[in-house]
Amino acid sequence: MIVKKREIPRRILQLQALLGRLPAGHPKFNEFKEQLSKRLAGYKGEKAIDYQLSGVLEKEIFIFNDLRLKDSEKYFQIDSLILARSYIILLEIKNIKGTIYFDSKFHQLIRSLDGIESAFQDPITQSLRHKEQMKNWLKKYSFSDIPVIPLVVISNSNTLIRTASNDLNHLSDMIVNALFLPTKLQKIHQLYKRPVLTEKEMKKLLRQIKKGHIEEEFSILESFSLNKGDIQKGVKCPKCKSLPMTRVYASWLCPKCEHKAKALHLNALEDYLLLFGQEITNQKLRDFLCIDSNALATRILKSVGSSTKGSTKDRVYFLSLNQK
């Protein structure tokens, strides 16, 4: 049973909004484009694992995707957590093409693709660290008896996995090809038969994991050392991608291709929320949408603002995602 569904990561949505509003000639444009490509590949790999998990031990396990918890010191991110009454499995999902070699001596992952070798952070080390953090988190809520099993899942079934012969037995317990994952889970389920949690404790732990998840607050402009002036303003034409569009009789008109449509300001406000945050005022909305009418700005804000603070003169509105 899926308790927490996997959704498009906010970082991907932010990068998409950013690239859509940066001039193509911006010095960091290609860097951000590459970052988006990598994150989309990772998300695609995670979705592939979701497909492999569908229907596996459906009545026996609970699945949390994209889980972010905090132990006594810091936050840690888990691609997928599988909870049963007898165990917890942590999945570290990697979507890497080519041939990958797990180097346990220097704790790195080496990828060979098209004759080029690249080094990656060792997912084994990362997975073991998450195991210790998860155990600390469980201890904090008096669930220290339940076994925590870390697995590194290679989501691309065409990836060739290699390691040194003396590491083969050790690493084969932790590294799983995507297609073998359902079988691996069945084996673990058979191995850990004795329930550690009572039904009551299981329900309590499920509630605590749900409650413990905290979304990451992330300012993409600050992280990439960008200024608000780097961001192009206005409503973007969905047809030719130019901006700004002009407000004409309750619609938006593209002066370049003459495409005309209503409610396109919702797309622009979605970008605003992802790039600048929830808070917006009448003046900031007019500036971002490139409109002059105070009354129009107020109507738009009342239609999309989930809540407000302050008096009429200095009122601040709070936007919500998925207004479209």
Section 29-53 average pLDDT: 95
Dihedral (C-alpha) 84, 90, 93, 98: value to the nearest 10 degrees?
-110
Per-residue model confidence (pLDDT) at position 323:
44
pLDDT for the residue 321: 58
Among 212-226, 233-247, 284-298, 299-313, the minimum mean pLDDT is found in 299-313
Percent of the chain with pLDDT over 90: 81
In 249-320, the DSSP E strands lie at 251-253, 260-261, 279-280, 305-309, 316-319
pLDDT digits (tens, 9 = 90+) for 118-158: 999 999 999 999 999 999 999 999 999 999 999 999 999 89
pLDDT digits (tens, 9 = 90+) for 169-223: 778 889 999 999 999 999 999 999 999 999 999 999 999 999 999 998 888 999 9
At residue 313, the pLDDT reads: 72
pLDDT of residue 322: 62
> Do you find a cis peptide bond into 244, omega within 30 degrees of 0?
yes
Res. 324 pLDDT band, cuts 50 70 90: very low
d(CA 96, CA 278): 35
At a CB cut-off of 8 Å and minimum separation 6, what does 136 contact?
Answer: 71, 72
The helix, strand and coil proportions of the chain, stated in percent and rounded to the nearest 5, come to 40, 25, 35
At 170 the pLDDT is: 75
Alpha-carbon Rg of the chain, whole angstroms? 24
Give pLDDT, residue 302.
Answer: 86
Q: How confident is the model at residue 306 (pLDDT cuts 50, 70, 90)?
A: low
Answer yes or no: are the C-beta atoms of 128 and 68 closer than 8 Å: no
Name residue, tokens 């099993």: 149
Position 20 pLDDT exceeds 60: yes
Above 90 in pLDDT, residue 303? Answer: no
Structural domains in the chain, sorted by start: 2-212 (no CATH), 233-319 (1.10.10)
- Token readout for 163 is 């390691």
Cα 272 to Cα 287: distance, rounded to the nearest angstrom: 11
Q: Which two tokens mark 321?
A: 């995602």
Considering the chain, what percentage of its residues have pLDDT values greater than 70? 98
* Mean pLDDT for the chain overall: 92
